[in-house]
Amino acid sequence: MADCIFCKIAQHEIPSSIVYEDEQCVAFKDLEPQAPVHVLVIPKKHVESVLALTDADRALVAHILVDVVPQLARELGVAEKGFRVVANTGDEGGQSVKHLHFHLLGGRSLQWPPG
């Protein structure tokens, strides 16, 4: 999608620190990390948010959450102690980039409730 910064990252049109990539998704380091480990996992296809997912996206979401996130958590060294997966959605959900992304945060003790 034109003017979507995460589409541009997925298409390698702007630089990012990619830590994982396959045909369906990309994971890269967050520009403003909120924890020692903070990566974003995004589908390559443009989906605005969790609310825009459809039946056709079931395999894609399962791939991200069943395959990619646990593998990354292990590789990045946070699987054992624990980590958080967050998909901010909409304005009050704190979503600033309108391309579906899963934050993977870890490497420190995370507080609850979030701000």
Q: Which residues bind ligand AMP (CB under 6 A)?
A: 5, 16, 28, 30-32, 40, 88, 94-97
State the nearest-atom distance from the C-beta of 96 to ligand AMP, in Å: 4
For residues 73 and 102, which CB has a smaller minimum distance to ligand AMP in the complex? Answer: 102
State the nearest-atom distance from the C-beta of 16 to ligand AMP, in Å: 5
For residues 55 and 113, which CB has a smaller minimum distance to ligand AMP in the complex? Answer: 113
State the nearest-atom distance from the C-beta of 69 to ligand AMP, in Å: 15
Write the Ramachandran bin of 12: left for phi over 0, alpha for psi from -120 to 50, otherwise beta.
left
**Burial per residue of 3-29, b for 16 or more beta-carbon CB atoms within 10 angstroms, e otherwise:** eeebbbbbeeeeebeebbeeeebbbbe
Rounded to an integer, what distance in angstroms lies between the CA atom of residue 43 and that of residue 102?
9
Residue 63 bears catalytic tag? no
For residues 21 and 30, which CB has a smaller minimum distance to ligand AMP in the complex? Answer: 30
Active site residues: 101
